[in-house]
Amino acid sequence: MNYFYNGHFWIGNAFDEDVRGILCEKGKIKDIVYQDCDLDNNLFGIDLHGAYVFPGFIDTHTHSFEGGLYSLMIDLSSARNLEDVFTMIAEGSVDKGNCVFAWNFDERKITEGRFPTKAELDKVVPDKNLVLRRIDGHCCIINTFAFNNITRTIRKAFCEDDILKGVENDKAVHWFHSNLDNELILRSYQSASQIALKGGFGTVHTMVGDADMSMGHYDLLEKHLFELAVDYVLYPQSFNIEAALDLGATRIGGCILADGSIGSLTAAFFQPYQGRPVFGTLYQSDQFWYDFISKAHNHNLQVGVHCIGDRAISQINNVYLKLAQEDYRDLRHQLIHCEVTDNNLLSQIQDSTAIPVMQPAFDMLWGGDKGFYAQMLGPERSRSMNRFKSMMNLGISITGSSDWYITELDIRKSLYAAMNHHNPHERLSLAEAVQIYSSNAARLSHDEHRWGEIKKGMDADFTMLNYIPSAKEPDLAQKVVMVVKKEQVLYENMSD
């Protein structure tokens, strides 16, 4: 039995200063101890030194395999010109085996303002498989060595263009992933677990599969989940409903794509991109999505689909709405990203009962009248993006996530972003920001009976900070000081 004391405890929607501590037994919260309660003096106590104790935070959409893998590979986020890119790849590829991943590339942040060419990459890495991925993950470039290997495996897989987008991007990246050994796959998840804990998350939703018909290493990961520090909620990222059912899955999807990304001009909109006669791309027909989603729904599988632009969101939500009206089941289908929504579309999402899985850091990084969104879509449309507050006011049960590796797996920055939206009308309060990463997040996976609240009978899952989050950006001294899962301390950084 453990007793956590000397902290400020988040009970319901606020800190309850009448709470003296939390008594835990067999991984559960046995009791909430108030100031006037008597305690056994022989209890093992864990002094929290005044930390602020929240329910264990949950990130509801990550690419943890890629994030963990890439943490072991080459991060190009600090590159400021192509020479930096080439130097980082040349130095980083030496000990990386036959498959080399370079990630976090952003052509807007380098002097040349472009991707490297295939020929330029060939000079740097001529005899290993190399993929360089854009920061949003929706386009990449591979060297000739990889191109030849992949096209031998997947006939007529690619055009000759240097930059691969859409289906070609997915095929290239998943070919790389399928050629990794099991040891590296498991090392990637172990690394991801430690990054999640450091970022304040004890539970993480993650995608596994090739976003087509393969489940990838889903079976391997499921067999080794007990070895990993955090709880992973797994998504068979595939269109293969039969295979998902055979695995005993209760959900399907994740980043199966209705459209692409804004940076790649493939997110699908009703209005064109700013200054371009381009509307983006719907990757599948209305009939395709109806057939797939309704089949999954009939098998009681929760469905999650990536949809960024309003045209893609409408396409997916129309199916959810039809099913809600004709055959309602409490499956909690997901609209992943759900970035551009006018009031009419919000009303339709309210009626469908779908759950938008949102990324507050997207607005933090790319919002504002002079930000990336405004440059691509115009200032007016950019102000009506990522409508956290509007959705919550309608009773839409949004959840919070990072889309890691796309943005950082860090609860401090996530809460700050949710409370500091560029549009003041879309900012969340502290209580609302906590809610989308705790009780709402638990409900998404049908785990509200064990996660998401500090409450008697729930799992003893806590995330502890040494400060109260606010709309002021956290400084280096403000940090995650402890993460507890089922009363076990998995991460601790209490020292100054």
Q: Using an 8 Å Cβ cutoff, are 413 and 474 in contact?
A: yes
Interval 412-469: pLDDT, tens? 999 999 999 999 999 999 999 999 999 999 999 999 999 999 999 999 999 999 999 9
Residue 29 banded pLDDT, cuts 50, 70, 90: very high
Comparing 495 with 32, which gets the higher pLDDT?
A: 32
Q: Read out DSSP for 241-274?
A: HHHHHHTT-SEEEEEEESS--TTTT-S--SSPPT
Q: Is the pLDDT of residue 179 over 70?
A: yes
pLDDT at site 159: 62
Last residue of a domain, one of 178, 209, 225: 178
Q: Are residues 292 and 374 in the same domain?
A: yes
Are both 248 and 275 inside the same structural domain? yes
Q: Identify whether the C-beta of residue 58 lies closer than 8 Å to the C-beta of residue 462.
A: no
Determine the Cα–Cα distance for residues 284 and 348; give it in Å rounded to an integer.
Answer: 21
**Residue 28 belongs to what domain range?**
2-50+461-467+471-492
DSSP per-residue codes, 351-394: HHT-EEEE-HHHHHHH-STTSHHHHHH-HHHHTTBS-HHHHHHT
CB atoms within 10 A of CB 355: 27
pLDDT beyond 70 at 298: yes
| CATH code of residue 380 | 3.20.20.140
Residue 59 lies in a domain: no
pLDDT tens across 103-148, in order? 999 999 999 999 999 999 999 999 999 999 999 888 999 999 999 9
| The pLDDT of residue 156 is above 60 | no
pTM strictly above 0.85: yes
Same domain, 198 and 291: yes
Local confidence band at 160 (pLDDT 50, 70, 90 cut-offs): low
On whether residue 404 sits in a domain, the answer given is yes
Strands of the sheet with 44-47, listed across from one edge: 28-34, 19-25, 2-5, 44-47
Q: What is the mean pLDDT of the chain?
A: 95
Q: How far apart are CA 377 and CA 274, in angstroms?
A: 5
The residue out of 130, 156, 178 marking a domain boundary is: 178
Query: Do residues 186 and 71 both lie within one domain?
Result: no
Q: What span, in angstroms and rounded, lies between the C-alpha atoms of 220 and 124?
A: 34
- Together in a domain, 298 and 382: yes
Distance, in Å, from the CA atom of 370 to the CA atom of 253, rounded to the nearest integer, reads 34
Sorted by sequence, the CB contacts under 8 Å of residue 282 that are 6+ apart come out as 258, 259, 268, 311, 312, 315
Task: Using the predicted structure, report yes or no on whether residue 155 has a pLDDT greater than 60.
Answer: no
What letter does residue 116 receive in the DSSP assignment?
P
What interhelical angle do 166-178 and 64-71 show, nearest 10?
Answer: 60
- DSSP for 19-32? EEEEEEETTEEEEE
pLDDT score, position 1 = 85
pLDDT of the residue at 157: 55
- pLDDT for position 171: 86
* Cβ–Cβ < 8 Å for 233, 284: no
Q: Are residues 164 and 234 in the same domain?
A: no
85, 109: one domain? yes
Q: Does some domain include residue 323? A: yes
Residues 107 and 70 in one domain: yes
Instruction: Report yes or no on 155 lying in a domain.
Output: yes
Q: What is the largest CA-CA distance in the chain?
A: 74
Residues 341/347/353/357 CA torsion (nearest 10 deg):
20
Residue 58 pLDDT > 60, yes or no?
Answer: yes
Shared domain for 164 and 195, answered yes or no, is: no
452 found inside a domain: no
Q: Within a domain: residue 204?
A: yes
* Residues 223 and 164 grouped into a single domain: no
Write the CATH number for 43. 2.30.40
451 within domain boundaries: no
Q: Tell me the mean pLDDT in the region 6-34.
A: 95
What does the alpha-carbon distance between residue 302 and residue 333 come to, in Å, rounded to a whole number? 5
Q: For residue 41, what pLDDT band results from cuts at 50, 70 and 90?
A: low
- 178, 202, 235: which is the final residue of a domain? 178
> Region 19-41: what's the mean pLDDT?
88
Sheet with 52-55, strands from edge to edge, namely 14-15, 8-11, 52-55, 462-465, 480-485, 488-492
Please indicate, yes or no, whether residues 74 and 204 belong to a single structural domain of this protein: no
Q: How many domains does the chain have?
A: 3
Q: Is residue 484 in a domain?
A: yes
**8 neighbors 53 (Cβ within 8 angstroms):** yes
Question: Domain of 105: which CATH number?
Answer: 3.10.310.70
Q: Strand, coil or helix: what is 97? A: coil
| Same domain for 210 and 164 | no
